[in-house]
Amino acid sequence: ERNCNAGEATPMAFSYRLSSELATLISGRYVEVKMQPLTFSEYLDFRSIDAVAAEGLGERVELVSKTGDRLNSNTVLEQYITYGGMPFLAHDEPRRELCRDYIRSLYQTIVARDILSRATRRGRGAITKRDVLERLCAYLADNISNQTSVNKIVGTLNESAGGKTNASTVSAYIDALEETYLFTKVKRYDIKGRELLKTGGKYYIADTGIRSYLDGYRGSDSGRMLENVIYNQLVFEGYEVFCGHLRAGEIDFVAIGEGSDRKYIQVTERIDAEATRERELRPLKLSTLGKIPDSYEKILIVRDGDHPTDIDGIRIVGAVDFLLRNKITRG
């Protein structure tokens, strides 16, 4: 942190700068390592919970506490989704009051210091109103995984507050939120045309615990919260992730890795009902995807309920099993 091109900078000075600013200060003499909140696997490590292969159940995973007790996997996953992966909160069984107080402090720090104070120091006059910033945060958090646009956000904010926010202002605020890594925009990828689309896209939040806090812990939209967790996991694994566009609909994720590693992924809570199962499988079926080779993996991730492991070449995998597929301890 010292002897960079900007002169001797103290750690305190650096603590008030984001990585995008540091890159300019130290002129390439750095390696940037982006840190995410804990993945589900890391969260289990913090809580001393082991993931073991369920005997005779293929890829299925069981969770075992440090005392040897079998845990309900869906309960532990729900705790992770609700309270997030901030390391401070992952040492023990989560308590809502403690989690709420910690996330409130973290959120206020991001809004007040990392965004508003920083905007003032940089002379960014468009980012001055805390109420606009907080309403925008609440909107993006409430709409994670939904297709949206700047114009739609402007319309919603103006309707709810009777203000005169414009597209330029909203874009500036969104840029600031992305610079702090609180939200990430995922672009749409035209699967048939093999190109990125300029319009639309989805936003995901860095930590679902912040989303729960902003939502008042109502437990709403659990399916979209799970989708957010799957997105964060894919990013952690090094995939470049897009939302897939088809003429007949959308695929939740197109995850592109190295070489020929590419996955087409749908995320849902259950597929017990036949109508739900067909709706979720339809975008993944080869007849819909057209020219996509069989070698590209097609996966339907299901949070709960009984399900087969394969339907017409599409892998059906439980959410816990997918998140822990690289962690399983086999006896």
Name the residue ranges covered by the structural domains of the chain: 1-33, 96-323
pLDDT value at residue 284: 87
Residue type, 39: T
Helix (H, G, I), strand (E, B) or coil at 125: coil
Q: What are phi and psi for residue 45, nearest 5 degrees?
A: -60, -45
Pairing between strand 188-190 and 195-196? antiparallel
In tens, the pLDDT along 213-240 reads 999 999 888 999 999 999 999 999 999 9
- CB half-sphere exposure, 130, CA atoms < 13 A: 11
- Write down the mean pLDDT value for the chain: 85
pLDDT value at residue 40: 97
pLDDT value at residue 248: 73
Give CA separation, 144 vs 26, 59, 122, in Å.
Answer: 35, 29, 29
Q: Per DSSP, what are the bridge partners of residue 50?
A: 64
Is the Cα dihedral 140, 84, 206, 27 positive or negative? positive
Look up residue 38 and give its DSSP letter: P
pLDDT value at residue 4: 36
The H-assigned helical ranges of 193-237 are: 208-214, 222-236
In tens, the pLDDT along 51-94 reads 998 765 556 889 999 999 999 999 999 999 999 999 999 988 89
pLDDT value at residue 294: 57
pTM: 0.87
pLDDT value at residue 39: 97
In tens, the pLDDT along 308-326 reads 899 988 999 999 999 998 8
Q: Which stretches of the chain drop beneath a pLDDT of 70?
A: 1-32, 55-59, 123-125, 161-163, 286-294, 329-331
